[in-house]
A and B are shown apart, each in its own frame.
With several copies, the nearest count.
Chain A
Amino acid sequence: MGEITYIDAIREAQHELLSSDERVFIYGQDVGDFGGAFKATQGLKKLFPDRVLDSPISEDAMIGLAVGAALEGMRPIIEMQFADFSSVGFNQIVNQAATQFYRTGVPSPITVRLPSGGTPGSGPFHSQMMESVYAYYPGLVILTPATVADAYSMLIESVALDDPVLYFEHKFLYRWLKADQLKDGKDPLPIGHARVVRAGKHATVVAYSAMVHEALRAADLLASEGWEIEVVDLRSVKPLDTDTVIASVARTGRLLAVGEAFPWGGVTAEVVSRVTSDGFHLLDAPPQRLNSRDTPVPYHPNLWEAHRPTLESIAAAIRNLLQL
């Protein structure tokens, strides 16, 4: 792997957006000279002093302000310091931003960046996956990039889109995931398209965000046992690319949906129920789900590793699926 990290991609995309589009501005806590809690905006305030603005600790106002600016034709990018804190801006996201176009016919193209997911020692309030909570609401676009190239291209596309986008970036990938280049040579897939990241024929694992990498590692492991596992990266959970998933299940006959989210509802339930409603006859075995445990995300690494799906638990779930 190369030297460009996932967080570099996010920073570069924002740099590119600010350079090429005067409607873009960034607003968030500590995003200015400090460069953001995760350094995703490092150096940008120097280059664009009037369009990179530190906000007070007021998530409700941050989103309200972004919607107002969007109504005036701007393309605000709001950085939540952690996705978990968007719970305080929840109302403005689901009721102000999401309903705006439906009610008034005027778009509110805001992009909210939400650093999500678990890392060791982060605990219940700095680890949450909230994509499904927001995906429930009509009017929002919910993206979950899992690669460096997607982190870049999907952020560019988020801002281009005329609708409110919640861009869930995974903190675990920030510095761990590296690539040679910002763009992977291929044309980026359009928003809303899933990608088959590994071809196989015995079972399909559908994953998104950091879990794509755990799923790929599990598929590697299973390969050594003679199984060919197909892995689909959803990329976008709303819209959700049912076609690509069902096409994969058509090839493999078996489905495991994996998420780092809490187990009630969420992306895996939506995936499984769409596949069974629309592709029931393709299934050779009951489709399965694997999520985190139904408790807050624990602080201690021992507990945390047993809380979310891992290479091992995914591999075990696949083995189980293959025997059903």
Chain B
Amino acid sequence: MPELERDSKAAKVAETWESQLRRTFRAMVVARTLESKLASLYKAGKIVGGVYIGPGQEAISASIGSCLSWDHDIFSALIRDQAGRTAFGEPMLDATRSYLGSVKGPSRGRDGNIHRGRPNNGLPAMISHLGAMVSVVAGMLLARRIKGCLDGVVGAASVGDGASSTGSFHEAMNTAAVENLPLVVVLTNNQFAYSTPNDRQFACKSLVDRAVGYGVPGYEVDGTDLSATLRVISKAVSNAREGGGPQLVVANALRLSGHGEHDDASYVPEKLRNSPVGRDCMEVAEQQLLSTGLITDAELLEWKKEAAEEVQAAVAQAQKEPAPDPFADDWAVYASTEIAPVS
């Protein structure tokens, strides 16, 4: 997938809108393919623990990732951000290894599934506690400011409607605003936090109404519409890059899966599924790219085939790799070798 590999800021600046749209969409295709596979592996009992996927949100997630450069920008991906991870540049093997328990995964089996990252490449590994990653991204940005290398850098953090209720989210937004850091927070309002609908989560009209309270620009967009979403997120990212400080994007969509693959989401009302917010962003995007001639049917088929092959290979690779061995693991929890563990 050569199109996903571009990662220098220079390349991005020169990139055309059409090319970025194609690149973003391609990440969506790859992510949907990968996540569907992970869901079936879960159902087949091949994955221990949970599987969390993001169907219906790929347009939003991929748009974040495609606006950022690996090894240059920062992205805190959350549980439904496979598309964003792919677009940002996370190797697919990181996902399959983490889910399938290969010792070669980025956390060597110590953690799994979506709790993975590569902090040294700009992809911190999420902890489960919602809202807690936003201040970590702010800190990464602050560090670069102090080191004098913040210029042109953006940090993005993904959060959900539910996470917006956490004190952690609030403190981080406010702190980033006080420091005027180039932080783009993309809040995917997928109408639910687990089973909890918006009306039990917040009482404002739209969560974008929070932006003014932090003194940061706010944007709201139909997250089922790739082209609109990419445009808005690109704008927020470039504002941040140019010194505009934190930005809050609220993108509306519907979670088209259960909370995790163990959940049938039967609590999601039929009416909501059939409303505009319930549209599948993949279908919308396909139509957008096909109808504008940005992609042909044949090319799309080819992309899907390539994605399936890549997924197949990444799964096969992870599956043939050894699981962690408690006798081989050094159980080190301290980086300083002079600190001996307690027992």
Q: State yes or no: do A and B touch (Cβ within 8 Å).
A: yes
Give Cα A242 to B339, complex, Å: 13
Contact assessment for B119 and A106 in the assembled complex, using a CB-CB cutoff below 8 Å: yes
Contact of B17 with A by CB under 8 A = no
Minimum C-beta distance from A305 to chain B (A): 7
Contact assessment for A34 and B194 in the assembled complex, using a CB-CB cutoff below 8 Å: yes
**B186-204 residues at the A interface, CB under 8 angstroms:** 193-196, 200-202
Chain A residues near B272 (CB-CB < 8 A): none
Contact bitstring A102-135, B, C-beta under 8 A = 1, else 0: 1111110100000000001111111000000000
Chain B residues near A51 (CB-CB < 8 A): 146
**A263-280 residues at the B interface, CB under 8 angstroms:** 263-264
Contact of A66 with B by CB under 8 A = yes
Give Cα A88 to B170, complex, Å: 13
Contact assessment for A303 and B324 in the assembled complex, using a CB-CB cutoff below 8 Å: yes
**A27-51 residues at the B interface, CB under 8 angstroms:** 29-30, 32-34, 37, 50-51
User: Which one of B134, B142, B147, B174 has the greatest number of beta carbons of chain A within 10 Å?
Assistant: B142
On whether A68 and B165 interact (CB within 8 A), knowing A103-B110, A300-B323, the answer reads no
Give Cα A294 to B125, complex, Å: 21
Chain A residues near B142 (CB-CB < 8 A): 65, 68-69
Contact assessment for B147 and A60 in the assembled complex, using a CB-CB cutoff below 8 Å: no
Give Cα A62 to B267, complex, Å: 23
Contact assessment for A56 and B335 in the assembled complex, using a CB-CB cutoff below 8 Å: no
Contact bitstring B111-139, A, C-beta under 8 A = 1, else 0: 11101011110001101111111111111
On whether A61 and B333 interact (CB within 8 A), knowing A125-B115, A239-B340, A264-B342, the answer reads no
Chain B residues near A138 (CB-CB < 8 A): 333, 341
Count of A-B contacts with CB under 8 A?
279
Contact of A207 with B by CB under 8 A = no
On whether A106 and B120 interact (CB within 8 A), knowing A87-B129, A92-B132, A300-B112, the answer reads yes
Contact of B163 with A by CB under 8 A = yes
Contact of B107 with A by CB under 8 A = yes
Minimum C-beta distance from B165 to chain A (A): 4
Contact assessment for B334 and A123 in the assembled complex, using a CB-CB cutoff below 8 Å: no
Contact assessment for B143 and A69 in the assembled complex, using a CB-CB cutoff below 8 Å: yes
User: Which one of B111, B132, B139, B196 has the greatest number of beta carbons of chain A within 10 Å?
Assistant: B139
Contact of B162 with A by CB under 8 A = yes
On whether A123 and B342 interact (CB within 8 A), knowing A33-B195, A57-B165, A72-B147, the answer reads no
Stretch in contact with the other chain, from A93-101, A170-178, A220-228: A93-101
**A177-227 residues at the B interface, CB under 8 angstroms:** 190-192
Contact assessment for A238 and B342 in the assembled complex, using a CB-CB cutoff below 8 Å: yes
Contact of A316 with B by CB under 8 A = no
Contact of A67 with B by CB under 8 A = yes
Contact assessment for A294 and B335 in the assembled complex, using a CB-CB cutoff below 8 Å: no
Contact bitstring B43-63, A, C-beta under 8 A = 1, else 0: 000011110000000000000
Give Cα A102 to B335, complex, Å: 8
Chain B residues near A192 (CB-CB < 8 A): 338-340
Minimum C-beta distance from A92 to chain B (A): 6
Give Cα A26 to B239, complex, Å: 29
Contact assessment for A302 and B325 in the assembled complex, using a CB-CB cutoff below 8 Å: yes
User: Nearest chain-B residue to A84 (Cβ)?
Assistant: B128
User: Nearest chain-A residue to B165 (Cβ)?
Assistant: A56
Contact assessment for A101 and B129 in the assembled complex, using a CB-CB cutoff below 8 Å: no
User: Nearest chain-A residue to B168 (Cβ)?
Assistant: A60
Give Cα A295 to B163, complex, Å: 27
Contact assessment for A300 and B110 in the assembled complex, using a CB-CB cutoff below 8 Å: yes
Contact of B329 with A by CB under 8 A = yes
- B125 CB contact (under 8 Å) in A29, A104, A107: A104
Chain A residues near B109 (CB-CB < 8 A): 298-300, 302-303
Give Cα A60 to B338, complex, Å: 29
Contact assessment for B194 and A37 in the assembled complex, using a CB-CB cutoff below 8 Å: yes
Minimum C-beta distance from B86 to chain A (A): 20
Contact assessment for B143 and A123 in the assembled complex, using a CB-CB cutoff below 8 Å: no
Contact of A240 with B by CB under 8 A = yes
Contact assessment for A101 and B168 in the assembled complex, using a CB-CB cutoff below 8 Å: no
Chain A residues near B343 (CB-CB < 8 A): 263, 291, 293-294
Contact assessment for A299 and B49 in the assembled complex, using a CB-CB cutoff below 8 Å: yes
Contact assessment for A64 and B168 in the assembled complex, using a CB-CB cutoff below 8 Å: yes
Chain A residues near B125 (CB-CB < 8 A): 100, 103-104
Contact assessment for B201 and A120 in the assembled complex, using a CB-CB cutoff below 8 Å: no
Contact assessment for B132 and A91 in the assembled complex, using a CB-CB cutoff below 8 Å: yes
Contact assessment for A96 and B101 in the assembled complex, using a CB-CB cutoff below 8 Å: no
On whether A68 and B139 interact (CB within 8 A), knowing A91-B129, A298-B109, A302-B326, the answer reads yes
Q: Which 7 A-B pairs have the closest CB atoms?
A: A68-B139, A64-B135, A121-B49, A306-B326, A121-B48, A300-B109, A65-B139
Q: List 28 A-B contacts (CB under 8 A).
A: A30-B194, A50-B146, A51-B146, A55-B200, A56-B162, A56-B200, A58-B175, A60-B135, A62-B175, A67-B139, A68-B135, A70-B143, A92-B168, A95-B128, A95-B129, A104-B119, A107-B335, A121-B47, A123-B111, A124-B111, A125-B128, A125-B129, A295-B110, A296-B110, A299-B107, A302-B323, A302-B325, A302-B326
B contacts, CB < 8 Å to A? 47-50, 101, 106-113, 115, 117-120, 124-125, 127-144, 146-147, 162-163, 165-168, 171-172, 174-175, 178, 193-196, 200-202, 267, 323-327, 329, 331-336, 338-343
Taking A57-B196, A104-B117, A190-B338 as given, write out 7 further A-B residue pairs in contact, using a Cβ cutoff of 8 Å, ordered by the A residue number: A56-B196, A71-B124, A101-B332, A124-B111, A191-B339, A263-B343, A299-B49
